[in-house]
Every structure is written in structure tokens, then in C-alpha cells.
Amino acid sequence: MAIYKFRKKCRLCSSTKFNLVLDLGKQPPSNAFLTKNQLKKVEKKFPLRLYICKKCFHLQLRDVVDKKYLFSHYLYLSGANKPIIEHFEKYANSVYKKILKQKINPYLIEIGSNDGTLLEKFLKFDVDVLGIEPAKNLAKISSKKIKVENKFFSKKLAKKIAEKRKADVIIANNVLGHIDDLDDFINGILKLLKNDGVFIFEVPHALDLLKKLEFDTIYHEHISYFTVFSLMKWFKNNNLEIFNIEKQKVHGGTLRIYVAKKNTHEIRKSVNNFKNQEIKFGINKLKTYESFSNKINKLKISLIKKIIKLKNEQNKIFGYGAPAKGNVLLNYCQINNKMLDFITDTTSIKQGKYTPGTHIIVKSPKIISKFSKQYVGLILAWNYKHDILQKEKKFLDDGGKFLIPVPRPVLVSTNNKKY
């Protein structure tokens, strides 16, 4: 496959009728951190544009960057964040209690098993587990404790695994949004799942993206932004149905969706509740997307103005956290190494590297203890803002400030804790 292609048809309904919602400009892949040597080379950049399908209202990118290019060495580690580890602990306990406990010799498969953090939580129960993880570095980390297939999930791989044993539960967290060929994916699920099996997945809710202006969660790796509205139609067309939905707090708001073969599980009220909430907001109206686009433009201008003002007042500004979405925000707002001195991040493999497109150095957060007044931390990992503000109480008490960019730029200090 070419490294970049433009998609003509909707991923869920094959329609060719779209509206452009938001143009975030040409951007490098948001996880493509650079070494000092790589700074000298020209970076590959690709258009980043959000579209809405006028037929099924599936929100998606049509600019597709080859997944092998994006994911072969993935720097996101599930095990690097405390809130995620806690989320997975509860997740495993809940899936075991609700589903796996009732099965004899249960078998669980996770697609996109990352560093194995979630699957490991199932080992204390009597559950056989298999991880499927395309990134070599991640598969290697997790294979010390669990069985891992170091491949992209596909119908072909599903068939091969299913020949030996089908799954009682298939889990895929933050995976569906990455998949270009969703037809192949859903056919793989149909092959691999037992007749009474359950497919559970977590995806960010597009309703949150629209309501809370989380525009920086739009990047090349995320090619779909799901609503219950469009998913229900899609599953129905594939003889599956959503039977339960739970809202989770991680990643700034996530949906956990339970899917099974038609007429095998009782459908909970939650499904229609979520769908009705979406319709009430207007997710099936094109003007909702125009209004979203206007608000993002305003946010960008307001953030740039705030940063320039802080700079003019002799503040030193640094980024707090270097998540992929931080890179989208920095590139879209053109905040580069002239505006930010450095970025701190807890992930050791990011430290010493430079942010894609904006070339800001990433450092260990240890250095924060040396700062106080005249320092402003731009919280790029804003989904963890509560944890961060608690953790950095000393920095704030010593006169440091934080700037939270989304959903509207707010400056937080000991005197102003409203955010």
C-alpha cells in the first residue's frame, strides 16, 4: 500500500457523500517523536481533515496514512499511566464477574493488547488469554507473561485462531477508531466469537468530542469517531447488536460497548438512552458540525493570544505531558520551540526526543521541582488535569501556573482554581 491514500467511501455505510467539518492542516503522525539526528531531515506530513458522512452520520478521516508506518514502533504504553492501570483493574474484575465467571474454561482474546496491562489483570482468575498486538516493541514487552500474536488483526488471522479455539469474550480498547477496513474487522469478529460470545470494546464517544471541543483527539491514527447512532446501524447490517453501553471516565470520556450476535442477549435500556441523548444534541444534523468547527477556530485564536500575553509578561512556558493529542494541538496552533521551552513527560522512551512538527524537547518531569514563579505549564495531557493539579500542588503553591487549553484556555494558579 502507498504510505498515504484518500478514501472515497464511508467506512460504515459506503456512501460517497460527505461534508468537510474541520481542516487541521498538514501534520506529521502525532506519535512520530524525533531523535536529535532526525531533526535535520524533512518530516513527512499528511493532510488532517475531519468529515461527516451525510448518509449515516459517521464522523471520520478520509486521509489514511498506512498503519504499518504509524504503528510499527508505538510509543504509547498502557502501563505508563496510573489512572489507566486502575481503570484496567476494575475493567478485568467487571468482565470476569459479568461474563467469564459463568463459563467453563473461559477464553479471552484482546485485540490491540499493547504492553499486556489489561490481560495481566485476568491472570489471577482462571481464564486463558491471548493478546494480538502489531507493534513489535509492545508484543515483546507483554510476551514475557502472556501469549501474544505479533500481527495486525484481520479476518485471515481470526480464521486461523478460530480453527483452534473460538473466544467467549473478545476485547478491543481504543482499536476500532484506528481501523480503515472495518468490514474486514467485523468479519474477523464474527469468525472468532463463539455463538453466545461477547465482543466488548471501548471507544471515545464522538458526542464528547463535539460537546467538549476535544479537537486534539483527532489525528491520523484515529480514523473513526463513533456515535451509538451510526454504530447501531452498522452492527445490524452485520447480524450483530449492541446490548449494553457503559460510560467510562478514562481518556476524557469513553464508551464501553457490549455487542453480541442478534437475539442472544437481552438489550438493556442504556442503548436507547445513549442514542436518544445523541439525537437530542443533533448528531444527525449537519449544522451541529458547522457550529463545532467555528468553536474550534475561536479556541485556537484564544489560546495563541493567551500564550503570547504570558510570554510578553516574561513567563517561561513548558508543556506538561507529551501525548499524541498534544502534538495535534501544538501543530494546529503552530506553537513551536520558540514558544515552549520544553515538555515534560513521564514516559521514559519519549524523554530526550523532540515533538513531531514543532521540535520541542521532551524532558523528565523531575525538573519541575526546580521551578516556581514565572513558569506556566501548558497541560497537553488535559484528560488527567485533576490528577496533575493534585500531584503538582507544590509547584502551584510556589507560584507556578498551569494553562489548560481545552475546552477553553484557562489559567490555573493558587489564586484561581476554577477550571
Does 190 sit near ligand TMP (CB under 6 A)? no
Task: Choose which of 288, 315, 346, 372 interacts with ligand TMP (CB under 6 A).
Answer: 346
Candidates 7, 13, 293, 295; binder of Zn ion (CB under 5 A) is 13
Q: Does 60 help bind ligand TMP (rule: CB under 6 A)?
A: no
297 binds Zn ion (CB under 5 A): no
Contacts 24+ apart (CB under 8 A), 294-298: 295/213, 296/22, 296/213, 296/215
Interface with ligand TMP by CB under 6 A: which range of 189-197, 274-282, 316-324, 334-342?
A: 316-324
272 is in the binding site of which of ligand TMP, Zn ion, none (Cβ under 5 to 8 A by kind)?
A: none
Amino acid found at 50: L
Q: Which of residues 278-297 bind ligand TMP (CB under 6 A)?
A: none
The yes or no reply on residue 61 touching ligand TMP (CB under 6 A) is: no
The correct pick among 369, 387, 413, 414 for binding ligand TMP (CB under 6 A) is: 387
Q: Hey, what amino acid is at 151?
A: K
C-alpha cell at 210: 463535539
Task: Sort strands 128-132 and 193-204 into parallel, antiparallel or unpaired.
Answer: unpaired
Select the binding partner of residue 323 from ligand TMP, Zn ion, none (C-beta < 5 to 8 A, by kind).
Answer: ligand TMP
User: Closer CB to Zn ion, residue 236 or residue 249?
Assistant: 236
Count the residues in the chain: 419
Q: Which helix (H) or strand (E) holds 196?
A: strand 193-204
Strand, helix or coil at 322? coil
> Least distance to ligand TMP from the beta carbon of 61, Å?
18
294 contacts Zn ion (rule: CB under 5 A):
no
List helix spans (H) across 265-285. Answer: 269-281
Among residues 62 and 178, whose Cβ is nearest to Zn ion?
Answer: 62
Angle at 287 between CA 285 and CA 288, to 5 degrees: 75
Q: Which residues contact 143 (CB under 8 A, 6 or more apart)?
A: 116, 150
Q: Is 158 helix (H, G, I), strand (E, B) or coil?
A: helix
Burial group, residue 400, by CB count within 10 angstroms (0-12, 13-18, 19+): buried
Binding marks (x or -) toward Zn ion, 48..87, rule CB under 5 A? -----x-xx-x-----------------------------
Question: Site size for Zn ion, by CB under 5 A?
Answer: 8
Q: Which does 345 bind (CB under 5 to 8 A by kind): Zn ion, ligand TMP, none?
A: ligand TMP
Q: Are strands 128-132 and 147-149 parallel, antiparallel or unpaired?
A: parallel
Name the minimum Å distance from CB 138 to ligand TMP: 14
Instruction: Order across the sheet with 18-27: list the strands.
Output: 18-27, 46-53, 59-61, 224-225
> What values do phi and psi take at 62, rounded to 5?
-115, -10
To ligand TMP, the closest distance from the beta carbon of 167 in angstroms equals 27
Binder of ligand TMP out of 132, 388, 403, 404 (CB under 6 A): 388
Which residue in the set 15, 239, 276, 302 belongs to the binding site for Zn ion (CB under 5 A)? 15
| 217 in contact with ligand TMP (CB under 6 A) | no
**Separation CA 134–CA 138 (nearest Å):** 8
- Which C-beta is closer to ligand TMP: that of 208 or that of 241? 208
| Residue 304: alpha-carbon gap to chain centroid | 25
Letters for 350-369 (x = contact with ligand TMP by CB under 6 A, - = none) are ---------------x----
Q: How far apart are CA 61 and CA 256, in angstroms?
A: 22
Q: Amino acid identity of 360?
A: I
Our CB check for ligand TMP shows the closer of 80 and 410 to be 80
Closest to ligand TMP by CB, 248 or 277: 248
Tell me which of 120, 149, 202, 345 binds ligand TMP, using CB under 6 A.
345
- Residue 381 binds which entry of ligand TMP, Zn ion, none, with Cβ cut-offs from 5 to 8 Å by kind? ligand TMP
340 binds ligand TMP (CB under 6 A): no
Q: Which of these, 418, 388, 419, 392, lies nearest to 406 by C-alpha position? A: 419
Q: Are 197 and 190 in contact (CB under 8 A)?
A: no
Which residues contact residue 281 at a Cβ distance below 8 angstroms, ignoring those fewer than 6 apart?
A: 207, 210, 211, 288
Q: Name which position in 253, 321, 357, 405 contacts ligand TMP (CB under 6 A).
A: 321
**Interface contacts to Zn ion, rule CB under 5 A:** 10, 12-13, 15, 53, 55-56, 58
**Interface contacts to ligand TMP, rule CB under 6 A:** 76, 80-81, 321-323, 344-347, 365, 381, 383-384, 387-388, 391
